[in-house]
Structure 1
Amino acid sequence: MKSNRIILILIFFAIGYLLYYKDKAGPIGDFWKTVTGVFNSKDNNSKEKNPYKAPEPDNEATATKGQSQYEDVATATNKKEKQNTEENTDKGDNSSIFDKIKDKVFDTDTQENTSDNGDIPDFAFPAINRGDEIIKHKNYTLRYEEDYEVPAWVVHKLRGEYTTGHASRGDNQFIPDRQVKDNSALSGDYSNSGYDRGHMVPAGDFKCCQELMTETFYMSNIAPQVPDFNRGIWENIESRIRGWAVRDEELYVVTGPVLKKGLPTIGRYNNVAVPEYFYKIVLFHQPKTGKKSRMIAFLLPNESLQGKRMNSFVVSVDEVEKATGLDFFSKLPADIQIKLEANSSWSEWTKIQ
């Protein structure tokens, strides 16, 4: 009898252990994916959603810039979530006993807590001029370009702890940014255009917190990207930078399109420019630690780059400044800024620090 009790306790412990680690990197997570993949492969083949294409708006806008119908699109994105919440309230909590045990024992709902408030220091920003439309969200700041309906640059601080957790893209919809003076582009501007709604600040950078991940779906953080580009080399670069953030603990990332007059446009309601090039700049600068500061930049054409290596698109920050007309990291000490922006070394970032 006693032995049966011990066996039962061990079984419950093993189940709890598996449930806790199934979503984490490692052998248990790999095992869980393999097992669930066997049972779900047939269903996934027929119902798999494109993770780079969020659901179309529930209520397509008929508005032009400045009209109140934008309110309908912004609020429609929360309609499903509200309905689901109300249904769950009416029906009661249908969570499985194992989910309840997991949440109680392992406290998995603490993912919204991080040890940092997300503030971005002044040295991480490009030079800001009078008249620039600066939009600040909780964990990123951007300069929006009304003439192009995309951001000129987006800056965010990326900590290694932000990159892990249980936040999900789920049914997040791309929504207009109400902070933009004359309203941002709409998700509907991209519908049937042949272009992805490309994140500048990646949703995957904030797996720690659902609120922060959802915030990346504001249309002020989006620009048109060729699907194979967005889902290929661009995603690979984003993933590599997350790996660097885990290693280096904290990085500053500046991302944006190269804007110029005469770019082609898409859009049912607004003229959204389709950039020919995108850039991404990463800075490691922790002077209090005594570690050597580093900077790396990528400049890539907005086209399918299958088979191309990401390090072949590494350029100096000076080259990105020349292409964009922007002055990056303008408040870094002059000697550090000049030295870092002139050199962009792939090997400095890929070798073990």
Structure 2
Amino acid sequence: MNLLIRTTIISVIATASNANATNINQFINTRSCDQVIDKKFYKICYDYKAKGAKFVAYTLKGKNVGAVNIKKRPSFYPEKSIPSRYRTYPNDYTHNEFKADRGHLAPDAAFDWSKDSLDSVYSMANIIPQYRSINRHTWIKAERYARSIAIKLGEVTVINGVEYGSQRMKKSGIAYPKGYWKMLCNDAKGFKRCLYYKNSKTIKTKGDKLKDHVVDCSTLT
């Protein structure tokens, strides 16, 4: 076969196979984000107006899941790389009117395999307001599912997105999310699944199942 033709065919095949590939940089880049924060173990797309993350993304290795399980949790800390007027603090959530938890986007249970990785997810740039029932009973199932996929497939790319509403915390000005989504991908294994969760105090947790939150990934991009 002519070398030029062969090269062209290979190029077309490669382009086709990567057409639907999921790249963290599609979400976390200087066009979409007021500030890109590289926490070494994951990346944050930070929105100054919302005073919170738009996206948090990382690749979770199956070998790290459950490898150490550090029990002692670090303290939350402000992200000093963010300009002070857009920065959030642990006490911004104290006695807040939404009774919201400090919700992790990159969860501690996925990063408890080393002191440095665990400490990284306690940056307030990785924290968003979540109703307690969502944080403690439903969203946690999506986090657990991501870890199981990482073990099964060897690794999984996780992209977390936040949909902010018009409401804000009065004391801090932090925008309150209407919902969150989680995209799980392993392009090499042909795996892609997306989950969406409303951030509402009226959500019923009894009988909640993971399949109730599965959505078409194309609606999130």
Provide TM-score, normalisation by structure 1. Answer: 0.52
Determine the C-alpha separation between the residues in 2 that align with 1:225 and 1:257: 11
* RMSD (Å) for aligned C-alpha atoms: 2.0
Determine the C-alpha separation between the residues in 1 that align with 2:39 and 2:22: 15
Q: Which residue of 2 aligns with 1:138?
A: 40
Q: Which residue of 2 aligns with 1:188?
A: 91
Which has the higher Rg, Structure 1 or Structure 2? 1
Q: Alpha carbons of 1:171 and 1:208: their partners in 2 closer, same or farther (altered >3 Å)?
A: closer
How far did 1:124 drift? 2.5
Does the 8 Å contact 1:156/1:254 carry over to 2? yes
Q: Which residue of 1 aligns with 2:198?
A: 301
How far did 1:310 drift? 1.5
The SS at the match of 1:125 is helix
Does the 8 Å contact 1:229/1:305 carry over to 2? no
Write 1 or 2 for the structure with the bigger share of strand: 2
Q: Percent sequence identity over matched residues?
A: 21
Deviations 1:87-144 (A, max 9, x none): xxxxxxxxxxxxxxxxxxxxxxxxxxxxxxxxxx992332434463111011100111
- In structure 2, what residue type is equivalent to 1:305? K
Does the 8 Å contact 1:154/1:201 carry over to 2? yes
Gaps of 5+ in 1: 1-120, 287-291, 322-353
Q: Which residue of 2 aligns with 1:349?
A: none
Q: Aligned pairs, how many?
A: 193
Does the 8 Å contact 2:156/2:184 carry over to 1? yes
Deviations 1:174-211 (A, max 9, x none): 11001213452111110112110000000000121121
How far did 1:239 drift? 0.6
Gaps of 5+ in 2: 1-20
- In structure 2, what residue type is equivalent to 1:308? D
Q: Alpha carbons of 1:244 and 1:122: their partners in 2 closer, same or farther (altered >3 Å)?
A: closer
Does the 8 Å contact 1:169/1:213 carry over to 2? no
Which of structures 1 and 2 has the larger relative contact order (alpha carbons within 8 angstroms, sep 6+)? Answer: 2
Provide TM-score, normalisation by structure 2. Answer: 0.81
Q: Alpha carbons of 1:300 and 1:239: their partners in 2 closer, same or farther (altered >3 Å)?
A: same
Q: Which residue of 2 aligns with 1:313?
A: 213
Q: Alpha carbons of 1:133 and 1:300: their partners in 2 closer, same or farther (altered >3 Å)?
A: same
- In structure 1, what residue type is equivalent to 2:63? E
Q: Alpha carbons of 1:122 and 1:135: their partners in 2 closer, same or farther (altered >3 Å)?
A: farther
Does the 8 Å contact 2:61/2:150 carry over to 1? yes
The SS at the match of 1:211 is helix
The SS at the match of 1:257 is strand
Q: Which residue of 1 aligns with 2:122?
A: 217
Q: Which residue of 1 aligns with 2:63?
A: 161
